[in-house]
Amino acid sequence: MNITDHKLEKVADPFGILEGDRYEYHLFAAVDEDDDLYSAEGFYIRVLYVVTETEKKIAGLFLHNRADDSVLDFELEDDEIELVQEYCDIHLNA
């Protein structure tokens, strides 16, 4: 899997009850044609990302079909989740 682009948005907490800051990433990725995630339409990964004083972590991760925005019933492998975590860390303040 290769992450090719992203969108990043800070999620507002109007009530101030959540610890830290919340962000939502849309990571656009490409995979080989023989990968289970491959489709002609493509997919993106929606990542809910939490940043507190002591940690940065993925709070939620969802795969979506780019054509109709439907949620895909797939899970990323551990090394792919690690790649997503690293990507979010690097691009948070870029």
**Where residue 94 falls among pLDDT bands split at 50, 70, 90?**
low
pLDDT of residue 48: 95
Q: Residue 38: what residue type?
A: Y
**Residue 92 and residue 19: Cα distance in Å, rounded?**
17
C-alpha closest to that of 28 among 91, 78, 94: 91
| Total count of domains within the chain | 1
3-class SS string, 17-68: CCCCEEEEEEEEEECCCCCCCCCCCCEEEEEEEEECCCCEEEEEEEEEECCC
Mean pLDDT of 4-14: 92
% of the chain exceeding 70 in pLDDT: 99
Domain holding 80, by residue range, is 2-91
Q: Residue 23: what residue type?
A: Y
Element (H, E) at 4: strand 2-11
Summarize pLDDT for 31-60 with one digit per residue, the tens: 888 888 888 888 999 999 999 999 999 999
Start-to-end Cα distance in the chain: 22
